[in-house]
Amino acid sequence: MAGVVVMISSSIVRPLNTTRSGRTKVHLTPFDLSLLQIDYPQRALQKYFPFAGRLAKVENPEDNTVSFFIDCDGSGARFQHAEAKTLSVSDLLQPDGSVPDFMKNFFPADDFKNCDGVTEPLLALQVTEMKDGVFLSYCYNHLVADGVSMWNFIHAWSKICSSSSSSDHPPLVFKEWFLKGINYPIHIPVSEAERPPPSRELSSVPVTKDKVFHFTKKNVSDLKAKATSEVGSSDMNISSLQAVSAHMWRSIIRHSGLSRGGETYCKVAVGLRQRLDPPLDKDCFGNMTYLVPAIATVEELQDRGLGWAARQIRNLVSSQTNENCNNFAEEWVRNVKNLKSGVGSRIAGDTIVVASSPRFQVYNNDFGWGKPIAVRAGPGNSVSGKLVLFPGFDEGSIDVQATLWCDVLVNLLADVEFLEHVTAMV
């Protein structure tokens, strides 16, 4: 399918009324900087002007470190227009949930890491015209924003497109959280800030494939009911995300070839806005998420059931308080390390990473072509076990785009216990 996507144009879009005098400098917190070596996530510029800036890098020769901040200099975001006139929507949205390899060409960037924001745009967007539809995609620098901020941007942009006016959008509210007792910008060892060379481990890494698993409202309800009954506590509420994540965690690890005594990890992206004291504005702009792991042995995960696994994830999320958020940040500043490990090892196969959220408002964004019918994640951070959760098209349903080693995926698709709670895509 090479060559099916043809680039028509690529341009830099800058916000109006931008001057270089008095421009905003946005300092970065440990939650931001911990993502320095992570790939760009793939999915109304005047209001969201930080996206039009660049990552500024400052060398500190006195201690052999570097510092970063967002320079809102109005350099602009990248906008690409492409065509794939030989492809239909059905070629992308395959009935069995398979994600075709050529879909990566529908996204505006590949292999960008957040540290590349010094020279690359912090936001890139691509509109691809197909035979019978339009594919809108984006990638953004995670140091600048998280999923909450990015989907707010998409919603604001769609409203501007449908109304042709940006005057009714309130000004951007920045996150107002910085770690006390340290100087900004934070100093990072040069060795941790440099872009890592291509990993030697990649030559021995099994091939991964992406597949979308669809959980109907009933599937989700059944998983929640099963998990809650196994927990045996009426006052412990298991959420939809926790129940589905626990089901995916147990099922994937069951086929990962790990010893029963080995440890396995479920890393969950936790939002911090309402967990801090005082809480932040729920829609404030910036990155206010970080990955925290639930830990279990393979034996515990498999033998103690869905409810036990869901409770580990629930306890992990509920334990993220103002105190331990600050403890994480303080420890990170004291001991900056392992930035180049990214979201996890490409070869261990012991971890799942739960990203995005089924709570994001995906299907109410109309750019004038009609509302979306599906959402997909693009390339980037492609470790086996990466799970990107989106709301399904039908209310109450959840779509999970899973990146898995091919042998794990084959075994998963033959797993009756797993498939019992999954419905074929339609």
Helix pair angle (240-254, 305-318), 10° resolution: 120
Q: Measure the CA–CA gap between 375 and 214, rounded to whole angstroms.
A: 12
E-strand ranges in 259-359 read: 263-271, 289-297, 351-356
The CA distance from 376 to 400, in Å, is: 9
- Burial class of residue 204, CB neighbours in 10 A (0-12, 13-18, 19+): exposed
Two structure tokens written together for 386: 């990466």
Among 142, 187, 214, 247, which one carries the catalytic annotation? 142
C-alpha to C-alpha distance for 105 and 41, rounded to whole angstroms? 15
Distance CA 27, CA 144 (A): 10
Catalytic residue selected from 111, 303, 366, 394: 366
Q: Dmax over Cα atoms in the chain, in whole Å?
A: 63
The yes-or-no answer on residue 255 being catalytic is no
Dist CA 212 CA 343 (whole Å): 20
| Pair of tokens at residue 290 | 């970080």
Per the annotation, the verdict on 366 as an active-site residue is yes
Residue positions annotated with a catalytic role: 142, 366
